């Protein structure tokens, strides 16, 4: 202590001044000599040091499994979870075996959602089983519904979201057409594999189309769709991704025809391995034992490897159910929302379908129209919610609304309801009924139905509006010619025929079909007798018949719509002096009468095979096809239809179909009643692909929202 005191005193003495010296100002700066901005004069570090960045090597891609947030330099070490593309690339180069690739793809692509509503499964109910799953002998919609999911075509039909059907590329990426419109050269995808792992090439496509023509669909006859266009010799393989086909004549609808399931691509190697060929036995000289099933026996149940589609057939319990599960090797990008699709094929009873749909045992069911008010209504007061009574009638279909838990949508189909008019009817013994002298030589050489005025009069005697609105309960939309609304060139048609009995009667009168035949004799004895008896002063002609025969009007039993329409036109024709005999026949007998030509008017329908107007006009009115057996022959119309068939210029085709329509309305061979429409109802957890009036649902494009804690997660 003493020492400190002495030192202090001495220090004060030695200083010689009483004021203390000011302390030096601190110099702020970076005092770290390793920093880029080191300040050697700094006396106090202000934290401003900056350094050269230190390089941290690592994976800088956040999508990688080994992403390093601190890395400053990507060292190329990123590893990624396997993807559809990477696994398929690995399979293609031999890194993965088929089993490894299949398992890896399943892990990547399968739906993994959970919920109380089985969000990865769809159950549907129908009332008709598939005939076969061989796409080259299938011609029914139940078969097509499966085939479109198991096999692929080069192009296919899809909805555009606005109710129209369009053709989109699938296995083909593009095609070129030669200048003469005869040769189509297709370019194919190179990343397509069959479900058994076989690589699909152009050779498979060429083989498939050869198979269609050579096997010739003995049961269904569907091969006419391709056979009308090309012969097997017209197919040329170019390389793995290219081939060409030369048509017998230009056909504007060619691409559309091969978008139908008959154009599906099958596995050549598998088919050849399972093909059963029986050669002629040389030991027998008078018997030809040759047969070739073109692997139909194998293809019939679409085994693994048959197709490249998004699904494979898991189970086909005939007349019971069809189950499809994913083809994990399917080439289309994206993952599966639906891991399992089950179709109960034979739920015939509509009440059962309704109960199962309401109770949630099934997601889809072919519901009857009268059951739809359980799910749909018309928002008459526009308040956006269901009020009592708004489901009493669903007439205003385009403005359909959905009750809670369901989605109801308006749809127009491409099916046409019509009545074919037979120009050459036969009697019960299949002998032509000749009761009209067409050339004026005094001998009856034709039937009155061959007279255009008679058929035109019949077309004016049909009550279109009542049929569409009342008979069909608004399930038919107006259509004025063979081409349905929403189809190519529908603008070529306009309304001509209306319900006008006065005009109809005048047409008959002007054509010389005056009232002169005794209707009772016609009806009771099928005898033609002129009724005006000169012995009496009474004029019997007022109630006499105009035609010397009874027009037989056919509908099939069980189709109340057709029966009602037949009754209407029967009554209408009777009122203008045309004797008729309406009858509903069992389906088989109805078809038999159609084929034997023992009818004058037959109510029927048409669903298109492919998306081209020629698929309506030619079967309806071309004398070369005449699918309805009307005996119709109009040379000028034939020429126009032929030109329209081969032209690929849109403007020209529109003009040709317009001319054809103008000719046809002067000489009609059928009554075009209307175009089908309706309402589709589904649970609100189902997200559908856009509706297409042609083709089937593609389940790969569907989604089902999971129901968790009583609420749906997400939205369509």
Partner 1 sequence: MKLHEFIARRVILLIPVMIGVSILTYSLLSLVPGDAAASACGDKCGVVVDTALEWNTTSEQWEEVSISAYESNVMRMGLDENLLEGYMVYVGIDGPYVGAEPLRLNSSGYLVPKTSLGEHTERNGLIDGYWGDSSLYHRPVAEVVKDFAPVTLEMSLLALLIAYPLGIFLGILSAVWQDQIFDQLSRLMAIAFVSLPIFWLAILFQKLFATKIGICDDLFGTSGGCFPIFGRHDPSVAFPTGDDQYVSWYPAGGTGFHLIDSWFVNDETLSLMGSDFDTRWELFKDTLLHLMLPCMTLGIASAGGLLRYMRASLLEVLREDYVRTARAKGLSGYRVIVVHACRNALVPIVTLLGFSIGGAIGGAVLTESIFAFTGMGRIAVEAIQYDDQVVVMGVTLITSVIFLMSNLIVDISYAIVDPRVRLE
Q: For 598-688, where are the E strands, in sequence order?
A: 601-606, 670-683, 686-687
Q: Residue 111 forms beta bridges with which residues?
A: none
Q: Residue 603 forms beta bridges with which residues?
A: 419
218 touches partner 1 (CB under 8 A): yes
Give the total of residues touching partner 1 (CB under 8 A): 62
The distance of closest approach from Cβ of residue 576 to partner 1 in the complex, given in angstroms and rounded to an integer, is: 29
Inter-residue contact 101 to 329 (CB < 8 Å):
yes
Q: Please pick, from the candidates 90, 619, 680, 690, the single residue that binds partner 1 as defined by CB under 8 A.
A: 619
The distance of closest approach from Cβ of residue 94 to partner 1 in the complex, given in angstroms and rounded to an integer, is: 28
Give the span between the Cα atoms of 713 and 705, in whole angstroms.
Answer: 6
132 touches partner 1 (CB under 8 A): yes
Helix axes 635-646, 614-621, angle to 10 degrees: 160
The distance of closest approach from Cβ of residue 212 to partner 1 in the complex, given in angstroms and rounded to an integer, is: 12
Q: Please pick, from the candidates 75, 107, 160, 320, the single residue that binds partner 1 as defined by CB under 8 A.
A: 320
Helix axes 560-575, 501-510, angle to 10 degrees: 60
Interface with partner 1 by CB under 8 A: which range of 66-74, 173-181, 281-289, 672-680? 281-289
- Binding flags for partner 1, 138-177, as an x/- string (CB under 8 A): -x--------------------------------------
Among 342, 313, 312, smallest CA distance to 330 is for 312
Q: Please pick, from the candidates 10, 26, 214, 221, the single residue that binds partner 1 as defined by CB under 8 A.
A: 221
588 touches partner 1 (CB under 8 A): yes
Sites for partner 1 among residues 358-397 (CB under 8 A): 358-361
Tokens of 2: 């003493």
Sites for partner 1 among residues 670-699 (CB under 8 A): none
Q: What is the DSSP letter of 318?
A: T
Q: Please pick, from the candidates 351, 383, 524, 715, the single residue that binds partner 1 as defined by CB under 8 A.
A: 351
Interface with partner 1 by CB under 8 A: which range of 101-109, 246-254, 352-360, 680-688? 352-360
Q: Give burial (CB, 10 Å; 0-12/13-18/19+) of 427.
A: middle
318 touches partner 1 (CB under 8 A): yes
Q: Please pick, from the candidates 160, 319, 395, 465, the single residue that binds partner 1 as defined by CB under 8 A.
A: 319
Give the span between the Cα atoms of 668 and 665, in whole angstroms.
Answer: 5
Residue number, 323 or 451, with CB nearest to partner 1? 323
347 touches partner 1 (CB under 8 A): yes
Per DSSP, the residues of 555-599 read: EETT-HHHHHHHHHHHHHHHHTT--EEEEEE-HHHHHHHHHHT--
Q: For 318-363, where are the E strands, in sequence order?
A: 321-326, 340-344
**How far, in whole angstroms, is CA 405 from its chain's centroid?**
26
Element (H, E) at 224: helix 224-227
The distance of closest approach from Cβ of residue 132 to partner 1 in the complex, given in angstroms and rounded to an integer, is: 6
Q: Is the dihedral of CA 59, 63, 66, 69 positive or negative?
A: positive
The distance of closest approach from Cβ of residue 684 to partner 1 in the complex, given in angstroms and rounded to an integer, is: 17
606 touches partner 1 (CB under 8 A): yes
Q: Please pick, from the candidates 208, 213, 226, 342, the single residue that binds partner 1 as defined by CB under 8 A.
A: 342
230 touches partner 1 (CB under 8 A): no
- Residue with tokens 């032929």, as numbered in its chain: 642
352 touches partner 1 (CB under 8 A): yes
By residue count, the chain amounts to 716
In Å, how far are 114, 592, 646, 654 from 650, measured between CA atoms?
50, 40, 11, 6
Give the span between the Cα atoms of 572 and 503, in whole angstroms.
Answer: 12
The distance of closest approach from Cβ of residue 616 to partner 1 in the complex, given in angstroms and rounded to an integer, is: 13
The distance of closest approach from Cβ of residue 236 to partner 1 in the complex, given in angstroms and rounded to an integer, is: 24
114 touches partner 1 (CB under 8 A): no
Contacts of 606 (CB under 8 A, 6+ apart): 415, 416, 418, 616, 619, 620
627 touches partner 1 (CB under 8 A): yes
Residue number, 413 or 516, with CB nearest to partner 1? 413
The distance of closest approach from Cβ of residue 594 to partner 1 in the complex, given in angstroms and rounded to an integer, is: 7
290 touches partner 1 (CB under 8 A): yes
Among 224, 216, 246, smallest CA distance to 234 is for 246
Binding residues for partner 1 (CB under 8 A): 121, 123, 125, 131-132, 139, 216-219, 221, 223-224, 284, 286-291, 300, 314-315, 317-321, 323, 340, 342, 344, 346-349, 351-352, 355-356, 358-361, 585-589, 591-592, 594-595, 604-606, 619, 625-629
């Amino acid at each position: 202590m003493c020492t400190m005191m002495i030192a202090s005193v001495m220090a004060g003495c030695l200083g010689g001044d009483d004021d203390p010296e000011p302390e030096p100002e601190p110099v702020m700066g970076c005092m770290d000599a390793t920093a880029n901005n080191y300040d050697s004069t700094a006396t106090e570090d202000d934290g401003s040091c900056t350094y050269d960045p230190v390089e941290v090597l690592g994976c800088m891609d956040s999508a990688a499994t080994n992403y390093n947030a601190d890395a400053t330099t990507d060292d190329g070490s990123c590893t990624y979870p396997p993807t559809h593309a990477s696994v398929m690339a690995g399979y293609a180069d031999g890194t993965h075996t088929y089993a490894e690739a299949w398992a890896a793809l399943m892990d990547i692509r399968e739906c993994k959602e959970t919920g109380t509503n089985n969000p990865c499964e769809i159950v549907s109910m129908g009332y008709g089983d598939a005939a076969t799953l061989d796409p080259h002998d299938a011609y029914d919609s139940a078969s097509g519904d499966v085939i479109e999911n198991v096999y692929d075509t080069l192009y296919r039909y899809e909805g555009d979201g606005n109710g129209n059907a369009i053709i989109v590329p699938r296995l083909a990426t593009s095609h070129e057409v030669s200048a003469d419109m005869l040769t189509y050269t297709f370019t194919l995808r190179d990343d397509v594999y069959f479900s058994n792992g076989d690589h699909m090439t152009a050779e498979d496509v060429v083989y498939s189309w050869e198979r269609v023509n050579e096997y010739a669909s003995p049961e269904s006859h569907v091969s006419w769709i391709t056979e009308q266009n090309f012969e097997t010799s017209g197919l040329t393989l170019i390389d793995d991704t290219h081939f060409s086909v030369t048509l017998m004549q230009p056909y504007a609808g060619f691409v559309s025809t091969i978008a139908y399931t008959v154009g599906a691509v099958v596995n050549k190697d598998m088919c050849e391995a399972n093909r059963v060929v029986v050669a002629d036995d040389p030991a027998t000289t008078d018997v030809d034992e040759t047969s070739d099933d073109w692997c139909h026996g194998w293809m019939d149940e679409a085994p693994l490897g048959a197709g490249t589609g998004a699904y494979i057939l898991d189970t086909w319990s005939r007349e019971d159910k069809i189950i499809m599960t994913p083809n994990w090797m399917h080439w289309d990008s994206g993952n599966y929302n639906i891991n399992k699709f089950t179709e109960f094929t034979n739920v015939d009873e509509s009440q059962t379908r309704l109960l199962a749909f309401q109770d949630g045992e099934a997601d889809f069911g072919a519901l009857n129209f009268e059951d739809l008010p359980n799910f749909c209504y018309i928002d008459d007061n526009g308040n956006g919610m269901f009020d009592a009574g708004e489901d009493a009638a669903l007439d205003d279909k385009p403005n359909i609304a959905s009750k809670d838990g369901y989605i109801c949508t308006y749809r127009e189909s491409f099916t046409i309801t019509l009545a074919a008019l037979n120009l050459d009817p036969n009697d019960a013994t299949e002998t032509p009924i000749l009761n009209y002298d067409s050339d004026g030589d005094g001998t009856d050489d034709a039937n009155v139905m061959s007279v255009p005025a008679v058929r035109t009069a019949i077309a004016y005697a049909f009550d279109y509006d009542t049929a569409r609105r009342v008979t069909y309960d608004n399930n038919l939309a107006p259509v004025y010619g063979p081409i349905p609304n929403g189809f190519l060139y529908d603008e070529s048609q306009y309304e001509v025929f209306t319900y006008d009995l006065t005009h109809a009667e005048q047409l008959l009168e002007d054509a010389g079909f005056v009232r002169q035949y005794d209707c009772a004799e016609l009806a009771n004895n099928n005898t033609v007798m002129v009724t005006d008896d000169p012995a009496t002063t009474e004029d019997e002609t007022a109630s006499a018949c105009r035609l010397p025969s009874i027009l037989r009007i056919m509908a099939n039993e069980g189709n109340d719509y057709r029966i009602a329409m037949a009754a209407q036109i029967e009554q209408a024709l009777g009122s203008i002096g045309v004797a008729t005999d309406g009858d509903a026949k069992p389906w088989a007998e109805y078809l038999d009468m159609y084929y034997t030509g023992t009818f004058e008017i037959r109510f029927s329908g048409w669903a298109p095979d492919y998306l081209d107007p020629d698929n309506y006009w030619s079967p309806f009115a071309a004398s070369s096809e005449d699918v309805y057996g009307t005996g119709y022959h109009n040379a000028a119309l034939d020429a126009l239809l032929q030109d329209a068939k081969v032209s690929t210029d849109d403007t020209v085709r529109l003009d040709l179909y317009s001319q054809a329509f103008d000719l046809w309305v002067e000489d009609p061979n059928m009554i075009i009643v209307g175009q089908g429409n309706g309402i589709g109802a589904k649970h609100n957890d189902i997200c559908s692909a856009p509706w297409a009036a042609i083709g089937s649902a593609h389940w790969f494009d569907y989604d089902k929202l999971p129901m968790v804690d009583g609420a749906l997660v997400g939205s369509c």
